[in-house]
């Protein structure tokens, strides 16, 4: 599938055209870039899913009145967020070291 140029009627939307031009320079679509980033650092999406899962279950427990489980899930969410941030930093540092 090739990229399509979109005619923009208003100058306020020039950033959209600029983004399309930059994407065509790199030759990589959003989906391709996302796939590449996940392959480079697969731990980050796992941390994100763990964060969302803990948040969703914690909110569900809160809504059902289970205060203890809700509190535990909120603490788990914070731990999962910390894990995600650390994984992101490790991934950035390792990518930087690989490019040297």
Question: Which alpha helices (H) appear in the chain, and where do they start and end?
Answer: 14-26, 30-40, 43-64, 67-99
User: How many CB atoms lie under 10 A from the CB of residue 92?
Assistant: 13
Q: Model pTM?
A: 0.65
Q: Mean pLDDT of all residues in the chain?
A: 84
Per-residue pLDDT band for 82 (boundaries 50, 70, 90) equals: very high
Question: What is the torsional sign of CA 9, 10, 15, 16?
Answer: negative
pLDDT tens profile 20-44 = 776 666 677 888 888 888 888 888 9
- Two tokens at 17? 């055209």
Measured CA distances, 78 to 10, 47, 60, 74 (Å): 43, 11, 17, 6
């Amino acid at each position: 599938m090739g990229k399509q140029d979109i005619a923009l009627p208003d100058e306020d939307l020039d950033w959209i055209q600029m983004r399309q031009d930059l994407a065509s320079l790199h030759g990589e679509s959003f989906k391709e870039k996302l796939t590449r980033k996940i392959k480079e650092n697969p731990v980050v999406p796992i941390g994100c899913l763990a964060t969302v899962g803990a948040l969703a279950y914690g909110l569900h427990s809160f809504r059902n009145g289970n205060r203890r489980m809700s509190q535990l899930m909120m603490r788990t969410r914070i731990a999962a967020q910390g894990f995600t941030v650390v994984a992101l930093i490790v991934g950035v540092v390792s990518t930087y070291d690989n490019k040297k």
